[in-house]
Amino acid sequence: MSRASVRAVVALWLAWMLPLQAPAAADTVRLKGGKTVDGTIVREDASVVVMVVSGVPQFFARVDVEAISRSGARFVTPTAVHEAAAVTPAEPIELNVRLIGRIRTRLTTFHWALQSYRNALRSTAAGRTRQASAEVHLAAEGLLPLHGGRFDPFSALADVLILLGLCAPTLWLALLLVKEGRSFTRIAELLVVGYGLAMLGMTGTRLADLLWVGLLGIPATFGAMGLLLAWMFNIEPRRAALALTLAIGLTLGTEYLLVRAHLI
């Protein structure tokens, strides 16, 4: 092969490989739940933001996006751009994007609400009662399936999917660890009833004007969940409390790993 032919082959190879290997500039999407995602925005409209993260398109509902930080020039893999651009803003896709966005947000809601409750306890100890009342109401509101202060069916559906897809397996494992194994059907029934009970407790906490009612409302709700577990499964309250504590710990640990792996 002549030298000119070798140069032509090398030039074609570089022309093909460089766009694929060039690093994508880091745009940042900050969601209303506090999570940030770095990647490259390849599409954006009134209902959805499409970002390529490690070559994989991810979709965020516009209503869940709090802020967007854009970088300068960027190179994106042709395959990822093609896949992202091929998505049309059809109604079923918009609904799926909104639901996926709600699931991501609701998965991290408990951590955020727990932090708000801790802040309320600190404010109470420091004598800042008005601030403590606002923070405990904020924690209760974060646990409710609300969006913009109103009931949101997408958030409620996301909660049910999280209960059945994540909380049910962790509770099943927790019950096995305390030697009180139960079927998934019974566990699902417990979680659905417990979810309704928890929403009633959080609604009362949110509407309460007295600070002490708000401060006791959240732990009382989880205590009621333990009693419900003991009653429905006919097990000792001590074992029910232990199983519930293990289930919460396993769920929070799983959520932490999912966040660290950038899966949510």
- The reply to whether 145 and 81 lie within a common domain is no
Residue 7 lies in a domain: no
Q: Mean of the pLDDT values across residues 48-72? A: 74
Residue 1 lies in a domain: no
**Structural domain that includes position 58:** 23-89
Q: What is the pLDDT of residues 98-118, one digit of tens each?
A: 777 777 778 777 777 888 888
pTM of the predicted structure, to 2 decimals: 0.61
- The reply to whether 76 and 127 lie within a common domain is no
| pLDDT recorded at residue 57 | 64
Number of domains in the chain: 2
Residue 100 lies in a domain: no
- The reply to whether 143 and 209 lie within a common domain is yes
- The reply to whether 85 and 113 lie within a common domain is no
Please enumerate in sequence order all residues whose Cβ is within 8 A of that of 127, keeping only pairs 6 or more positions apart, or say none: none
- The reply to whether 137 and 35 lie within a common domain is no
* CATH number of the CATH domain containing 69: 2.30.30.100
Q: What is the pLDDT of residues 8-28, one digit of tens each?
A: 544 444 444 444 444 445 788
- The reply to whether 125 and 193 lie within a common domain is yes
- The reply to whether 136 and 243 lie within a common domain is yes
Q: Percent of the chain having pLDDT more than 90?
A: 12
- The reply to whether 138 and 183 lie within a common domain is yes
